[in-house]
Amino acid sequence: MSRLLVVEDDPDIALALRLLFSRAGYEVAHAGDGRTGLKEAYAEHPDLVVLDVGLPEMDGWQVLERLRDVSDVPVLVLTAHGQEAEKVRGLRGGADDYLTKPFANNELLARVEALLRRSSSGQNSWASQIYDDGLVHLDPTKRRVYVKGDEKRLTPTEFRLLNALVRHAGAVLSPNQLLTQAWDDPTGIGQERVKFAVLRLRRKLGWSDPDESPIESVRGFGYRYRRPSGDS
């Protein structure tokens, strides 16, 4: 049975969501504010988080940011705002899906089921060989990454994304190829997630300056990792 965490401060909406998910066969936990939701997520490791944006104590954007620093748990953002900028902000922050209130119960359930399927379908298996080019040292077995000897903490998706890039060093990988290899989700709005995931990955690895980053954006095609030797 999949365990869902609902982070929602409106008691009526929270009750409705708990009943909806419980009747659909899910185990449901609830938190009424952002800080409690974050603590619950750390402690209980839910299979999916349904996250409201307008929360007391700590808003949904802050919760999402902190979750993404340590976890790859699927997050479906619920908000009363339907503007394009809000949707982009959610995707940029690492949300897996976005639904505007008011929403249809069947649509919400369908989106939750889709996210859980993608999460549990299993990702592409990688060779266990260690990758080391003098700049990046990547150990798939131990799930550890070092840049110039300094260990970097990555989420599972970020690790798979970097692994895909370095294993195909010099080759340009399209967003669809990266989605297939890092998310196992080559369809839908997912392509936009690649852009934001690459930005987060560069930042965590200390390569925020795109001109100096070995992860290159190839306009109109995708992304490429350049080895330190300059091979392309």
Domain residues of the chain, as ranges? 3-120, 131-225
Report d(CA 171, CA 5) in Å as an integer: 40
| pLDDT tens, position by position, 166-186 | 988 888 998 888 887 787 554
Report d(CA 121, CA 1) in Å as an integer: 15
Signed CA dihedral, 181, 191, 172, 133: sign only = negative
Give the domain 3-120 fold: Rossmann fold (3.40.50)
The pLDDT assigned to 128 comes to: 55
- Domains 3-120 and 131-225 alike in fold: no
| pLDDT tens, position by position, 1-31 | 789 999 999 999 999 999 999 999 999 999 9
Nearest Cα residue to 65 out of 182, 162, 204, 161: 204
54 and 33 Cβ atoms separated by less than 8 Å: no
Interval 51-60 mean pLDDT: 90
CATH tag for 131-225 (out of 3.60.21.10, 1.10.10.10, 3.40.1190.20, 1.10.8.420): 1.10.10.10
Instruction: For residue 213, give the amino acid letter.
Output: S
Residue 199's φ and ψ, nearest 5 degrees, are -60, -45
Give the global pTM: 0.58
